């Protein structure tokens, strides 16, 4: 029987916490000084879960604690976004927790140890959290009780509506992640390589997201301008496709050289946009090339259509952003699973493609998601799709051409 419902706020101290869901350890910049630097943060929902789960686990288990978790969306009875269920394992034992958004903040409402979550084994569903101890799911136009798969009648639904949690946030929409069910889907996409560069953090260089983004751009262009990285083959052809090499000693060296050329951390922590440009120009000039920066902004705002034109012209992007998600998209029959990793802070990335997906949803409405295929610079998810309209601001962006 589920009996443990207490909530304890705690601090992570001397506990091993390993997340299977990809929490990005992110590079960012201080808005006041305008330099792109390293910064570490978790989303508010994740922090609420971590603090409670670790504190309670320390009370319940002896010795070191190993905690792994995955996260899925929760919906209210009207299928509006409500929060998350965390399905976790502590020292080999299962558990789950509910974190919902109410009154302007994420709050933990339930957490259980050594109990399997009520949605275990169910796929292709929308998980509905009514209130404590009450779990439904929605599938193919019907509501079911999660533990028994029993259909819920209209009469019972009216009763349940009278005592349920309801969504109080509009920012958690279906483009956030989870499952997008559709009647039809169309896609406009182009990527500059089958596998584009994916250089990540290099030991010994702090606040280095800008040099890392620059190194990804240099590796891309070394395919065409072979003196950019001496005595180096950036990738290989496969039929009509091209696969860039994974990071190695040569690309680590490019990161180090750009770190110096950009003057990272010499004025302030991180790298400003003018420093990024000056460093890239210095690096290319030394190799005998020129570089141009072709804006993707219109009237101070990022233009997806201009970015598409840059990429179609063979120009990868330099993106300077605040807060972001990096997604993996799993296309299924009749629905797409989108797994987002979240980053709070500011960051520099290289973009190597675009993906514009238009869905006609099951309720007849249309949803369009706009992504840039990026080298994130982060080892936890080195490549993925950046949603330009979800929890992010694009400060500046350029198509990069080297000649």
Give the model confidence (pLDDT) of 41-87 as tens digits: 335 788 888 888 888 888 778 777 788 888 888 988 888 788 899 99
> Rounded to whole angstroms, how far apart are CA atoms 83 and 20?
19
Q: Rounded mean pLDDT of the chain?
A: 83
Query: Quick check: 209 and 346 in contact, CB under 8 A?
Result: no
Residue 177's nearest CA partner among 373, 401, 371, 383 is 371
Given a cut of 70, is residue 102 above it in pLDDT?
A: no
- The least confident of 33-47, 110-124, 150-164, 272-286 is 33-47
List of residues 6+ apart from 30 with CB closer than 8 A:
37, 268, 269, 270, 346
Kindly report the number of other CB atoms within 10 A of residue 166's CB atom. Answer: 13
Q: Which of 325, 402, 332 is nearest to 369 (CA)?
A: 325
pLDDT in tens, 301-352: 899 999 999 999 999 999 999 888 888 898 888 999 888 887 767 799 999 9
CA angle, residues 175, 74, 54, in degrees to nearest 5 = 110
Domain boundaries, the chain: 16-172, 188-402
For the chain, give the longest Cα–Cα distance. 76
- Which percentage of the chain shows pLDDT scores above 90? 50
**CATH code of the region 188-402:** 3.90.70
- pLDDT value at 162 more than 80: no
pLDDT of residue 15 exceeding 50:
no
pTM above 0.85, yes or no: no
Residue 356 has a pLDDT of: 95
Instruction: Look at residue 201 and tell me whether its pLDDT is greater than 60.
Output: yes
């Amino acid at each position: 029987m589920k009996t443990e419902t207490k909530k304890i706020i705690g601090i992570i101290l001397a506990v091993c916490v390993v997340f299977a869901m990809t929490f990005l350890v992110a590079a960012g910049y201080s808005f006041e000084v305008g330099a792109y630097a390293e910064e570490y943060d978790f989303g508010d929902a994740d922090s609420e879960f971590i603090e409670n789960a670790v504190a309670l686990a320390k009370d319940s288990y002896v010795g070191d604690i190993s905690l792994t978790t995955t996260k899925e969306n929760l919906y209210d009875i009207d299928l509006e976004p409500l929060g998350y269920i965390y399905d976790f394992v502590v020292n080999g034992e299962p558990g789950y927790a509910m974190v919902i958004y109410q009154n302007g903040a994420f709050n933990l409402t339930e957490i259980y140890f050594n109990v399997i979550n009520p949605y275990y084994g169910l796929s292709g569903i929308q998980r509905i959290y009514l209130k404590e101890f009450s779990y439904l799911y929605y599938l193919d136009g019907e509501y079911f009780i999660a533990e028994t798969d029993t259909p819920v009648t209209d009469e019972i639904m009216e009763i349940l509506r009278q005592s349920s949690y309801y969504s109080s946030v509009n920012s958690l929409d279906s483009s956030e992640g989870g499952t997008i069910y559709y009647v039809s889907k169309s896609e406009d996409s182009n990527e500059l390589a089958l596998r584009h560069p994916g250089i990540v953090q290099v030991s010994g260089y702090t606040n280095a997201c800008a040099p890392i983004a620059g190194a990804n751009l240099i590796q891309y262009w070394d395919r065409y301008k072979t003196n950019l990285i001496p005595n180096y083959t950036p990738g290989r052809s496969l039929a009509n496709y091209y696969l860039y090499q994974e990071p190695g000693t040569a690309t680590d060296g490019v990161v180090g050289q750009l770190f110096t050329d950009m003057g990272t951390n010499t004025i302030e922590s991180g790298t400003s946009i003018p420093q990024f440009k000056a460093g890239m120009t210095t690096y290319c000039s030394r190799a005998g090339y020129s570089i141009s920066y072709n804006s993707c902004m219109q009237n101070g705002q990022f233009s997806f259509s201009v970015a598409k034109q840059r990429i179609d012209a063979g120009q990868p992007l330099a993106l300077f952003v605040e807060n972001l998600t990096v997604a993996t998209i799993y296309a299924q029959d009749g629905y797409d699973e989108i797994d987002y990793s979240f980053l709070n802070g500011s960051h520099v990335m290289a973009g190597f493609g675009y993906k514009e997906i238009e869905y006609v949803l099951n309720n007849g409405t249309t949803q369009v998601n706009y992504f840039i295929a990026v080298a994130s610079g982060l080892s936890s998810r080195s490549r993925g799709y950046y949603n330009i309209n979800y929890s992010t601001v694009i400060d500046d962006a350029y198509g990069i051409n080297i000649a």
